[in-house]
A and B are shown apart, each in its own frame.
Chain A
Amino acid sequence: MKHLSSLQLCAFLDDVLVGTPDDGTARHLATCTICRARYETWCHVDDSLRELLGQDPDEHAMEQRMSWVQIVVTAERKGLPAPEFAVLRIALPPQLPAPPPVQVFPPGRAPGFADPAPRTTPEPLKRPVLNPPILASPAPAQRASVSSAPPPAAPRAARQPAQPPVAAAANPSAPPPGYARMPRPPRKGFAAFVSRPGVWIALALVAVLAGAFPLGVARFGIPVIKFGFKSGHERDADVKPAGDENTAGADDAAPARKGSAKARKGAQDDPDASVLFDLPALEPEDGEPDAGATDAAPTRPGKPADRDTPARSGPTLCGEVHNPQGQPVEGARVYLTSPPRMVRTDKSGRFCISCPQGKRTIRIEATGRAPVTRTVQMGSTKLETRFTLVPVN
């Protein structure tokens, strides 16, 4: 007996087999224990992933994120600076303690400042004691500078740090306190050139003009050298047959193949999915049984079919899904939690799903509409239900 391949098993699991291949696969699974064990393992993987990852978002957090996006986009559209996300407050979850109330402290008196000492009246500033003989009669060598200095020389001398009069008297060659410093020698050469503010202003103007009028080698007719490197998806696009350009990937991936700079920008804007889904080619797996019946090849993919296998026979849950206006909702997903199953509604909004007896939870989801969950008590016969999906917005 030949076993089912992974592709056949996957197609059967996704309900894309119809007719004879579907029946043949079901019959094989009913008889072959190895393939049935693989099928159950795959079902367990699917159920676990659906249970773990099929969560709904936190509506409060999502609304907050949407509000942030609106704030940022509105600010950018109006030419205002976009606010930083760090400034925007995140609402604390309920299990966290509330923040302490805000207290207003006088300037410099916040508890973080280390100023516990009480304020006292400051002592009066001690002015340096000037040397009366120096002020009265400066040295002859310094008289010229004193005479050329502006009149408020005495107050400036008062701001100088105090020099002990004893030291001044002991070292008569030292410059006496209270006199202005000697001016620095003027800068020369490149330092003088750089120190002029006009130079920097001119450099800034040149930079602005260079940015406004791009100057480059390409402007003067020198050809731009292009290197032969191409990214993975560009090489992939090159080896595609010509017919592929008109079908998949010709819409928003086309700018990414035109040039290097534009390709990089296009990759930022709309990524080429061939990079994301660049998976290894199909190859035989280790331990995988040989592919069996070729008549079980998948046909008409993407169109789930009715299945009347013994495992799914029994009572059925049927119903209609409508919007508030009473119009049928097509393509809504109808989930049965236990056992995990899913069907979609047809054009008239109807669905039927085989459902064992007992208390069952059913969930209806549709794009752009709020999901609805309902628990029904299944009997041994068919049960009719009716759902109304309300638009989210």
Chain B
Amino acid sequence: MHDNSNAHYSWTEPGRDPELALAAQRGDLGALFTLLRKYRRELWRVCFALTLDRQRAERLVHDTLLRAAKNLRSLPTGSSMLPWLVRLAAHLATAAAKSGTQAPGAEPFSPEALGTGLTEMERPVLEAFAALPEGERLLLALDTIEHISYPELAVIAKREVPVIMNQVALIRARIAREEAA
């Protein structure tokens, strides 16, 4: 089989982000919108995992991009924008959950809100996933759905790699236990 060991970290690779961010801070609106458009799909999937609702995910993407445009100066110099956007979205989702506005827990979670047909095998998994806190939900979604590597997860979550591995293992074990129950 082909060797894939040299796969690079796409989520944390800066690319043209610092250049665009600098231009956007100097007032270049084109650079700003290019930067905001670049990661909208990844950001939407993160927001969808955080909210478990397509409409709320779109709203969270909207709020995250607005907040990012206003606070672009706090983007770490020379780094990729995507981890920063993910932290911003998670922060907004957590704040909304605590305040009770547009929160995932504001209304009873309905698996049908995902808009896809659920099988009897998938329903307990989804319910166990929805019962997780936002941070754990985000971590598991990044690992399982986006296949983000552990070093990248460590950069996004600002934790050490072994800590991230332990947390992912704990979350998976918890979901499997609840799903089995």
Contacts and interface: CB of A to CB of B under 8 A. Distances in A.
Q: Do A and B bind each other?
A: yes
Interface of A: 5-7, 9-11, 13-14, 16, 18, 38, 41-42, 44-46, 48-58, 61-62, 65-66, 68-70, 72-74, 76-77, 248-249, 251-253, 255, 266-282, 285-288, 298, 301-308, 316, 318, 330-331, 333, 342-347, 350-354, 366-368, 392-393
Given A316-B1, A346-B3, A269 B169 contact: no
Nearest to A248: B158
Given A276-B91, A276-B134, A351 B4 contact: yes
B79 A38 contact: no
Contacts of A248: 154-155, 158-160
Interface residues of B, number: 99
A11 B129 CA distance: 20
Contacts of B71: 268-270
Given A49-B145, A50-B145, A73-B29, A42 B177 contact: no
Contact of B177 (A49, A53, A285, A302): A285
Interface in B58-79: 58, 61-62, 65-67, 69-71, 74-77, 79
A51 B126 CA distance: 10
Contact of B173 (A272, A275, A285, A350): A285
Contact of B42 (A251, A286, A304, A367): A367
Contacts of B154: 248
Contact of A10 (B27, B66, B157, B169): B169
B74 A280 contact: no
A285 B7 CA distance: 33
A392 B71 CA distance: 25
B125 A44 contact: yes
Contact of B74 (A77, A266, A298, A303): A266
B1 A308 contact: yes
Contacts of B62: 65, 68-69
A252 B154 CA distance: 15
B1 A354 contact: yes
A49 B90 contact: no
A331 B7 contact: yes
The 3 A-B pairs of least Cβ separation, nearest first, read: A271-B91, A352-B2, A302-B149
B87 A48 contact: no
B101 interface: no
A165 B160 CA distance: 98
Nearest to B125: A48
B4 A344 contact: yes
Tell which of A16, A38, A301 has the most Cβ of chain B within 10 Å: A301
B8 A330 contact: yes
24 contacts: A7-B166, A10-B172, A45-B176, A55-B115, A57-B54, A66-B40, A69-B36, A268-B71, A271-B90, A273-B157, A275-B135, A276-B94, A276-B135, A277-B138, A280-B170, A305-B3, A306-B4, A343-B2, A345-B4, A350-B2, A368-B39, A392-B37, A392-B38, A393-B38
